[in-house]
């Protein structure tokens, strides 16, 4: 019985100590206001932010061993520019003081301050491959679509720059790379009617529907509907009957 009582008292004490310790922690975080961040490598304007107990009345901000700011009212925040410090590795930390005089030390953040040229180089190395990959995927998709269209005998109605429907002749075509980009579309020349107009990228379903309508219109105009063998035989017999004459 006594062991159980001591066990309950121990749990209560440990829980109380843990709760007090949790209340006495000081958490330092970093947010990007304007600039570039590549993990621990940063460049630009950033803000150090501190979260602590409710009775926190003062926070000192440090970069390396130098105190850079002091805040006495929440939110406890300090904005800085990496350009104001030498490039290289720096350690960020904060020290808080509570209303009853207790001193709390935050976690540390180890960061590498980049120069603007280094940051631009890192951005280029990150963004350019993504752009090239996107262009490669677009060209590959267009090439596969063109192969399928050529295999079916269908002219190209879509491409890397999308497809459009001519507002003059209402026929679909692939927009050309040499077309001039304007605000509302691309100034391009229709290969069917030869007229220039500003065309927007059309959905593939609309392009296919316009292509089928174009084929149907061409068939109706030329009268080239393919007749079945039975129809050909009936036509032959009718022509033969019409050629007969009575004596």
pLDDT tens string 184-231:
889 999 998 999 999 999 999 998 899 989 888 888 887 654 555 666
pLDDT tens string 38-47:
889 999 999 9
- List the beta strands (DSSP E) in 99-205: 103-105, 109-113, 163-165, 172-174, 180-182, 185-189, 196-199
pLDDT tens string 27-36:
999 999 999 9
Q: For 8-39, b where at least 16 C-beta lie within 10 A, e where not — what string?
A: eeeeeeeeeeeeeeeeeebebeeeeeebbbee
Instruction: Supply the pLDDT for residue 79.
Output: 97
Give the largest CA-CA distance in the chain: 138
pLDDT tens string 139-182:
665 555 555 555 555 677 888 888 999 999 999 999 988 888 88
Q: Where are the domains of the chain?
A: 28-118, 132-229
Average confidence score pLDDT of the chain: 80
Q: What percent of the chain is modeled with pLDDT above 70?
A: 71
* CA-atom Rg of the chain in angstroms: 38
pLDDT tens string 78-93:
999 999 999 999 999 9
Instruction: Supply the pLDDT for residue 60.
Output: 97
28-118 placed in CATH 3.40.50.1010: no
Under a CB-based contact definition with an 8 Å cutoff, are residues 51 and 5 in contact?
Answer: no
Looking up tokens 């929440």, which residue turns up? 74
């Amino acid at each position: 019985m006594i062991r159980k009582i001591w066990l309950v008292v121990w749990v209560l004490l440990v829980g109380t100590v843990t709760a007090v310790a949790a209340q006495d922690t000081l958490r330092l975080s970093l947010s990007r206001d304007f600039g570039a961040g590549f993990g621990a490598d940063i460049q630009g304007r950033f803000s150090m932010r501190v979260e602590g107990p409710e009775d926190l009345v003062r926070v000192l901000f440090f970069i390396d061993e130098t105190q850079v700011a002091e805040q006495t009212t929440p939110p406890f925040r300090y904005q800085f520019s990496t350009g104001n410090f030498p490039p290289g590795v720096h350690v960020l930390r904060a020290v808080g003081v509570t209303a009853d005089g207790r001193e709390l030390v935050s976690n540390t953040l180890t960061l590498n301050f980049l120069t603007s040229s280094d940051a631009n180089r890192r951005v280029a190395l990150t963004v350019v491959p993504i752009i090239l990959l996107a262009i490669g995927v677009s060209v590959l998709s267009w090439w596969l679509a063109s192969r399928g269209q050529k295999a079916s005998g269908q002219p190209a109605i879509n491409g890397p720059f999308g497809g459009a429907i001519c507002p003059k002749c209402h026929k679909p075509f692939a927009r050309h790379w040499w077309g001039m980009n304007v605000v509302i579309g691309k100034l391009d020349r229709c290969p069917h009617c030869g007229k220039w107009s500003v065309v927007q990228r059309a959905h593939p379903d609309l392009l296919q529907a316009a292509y089928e309508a174009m084929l149907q219109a061409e068939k109706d105009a030329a009268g080239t509907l393919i007749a079945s063998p039975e129809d050909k035989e009936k036509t032959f017999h009718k022509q033969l009957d019409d050629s007969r004459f009575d004596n």
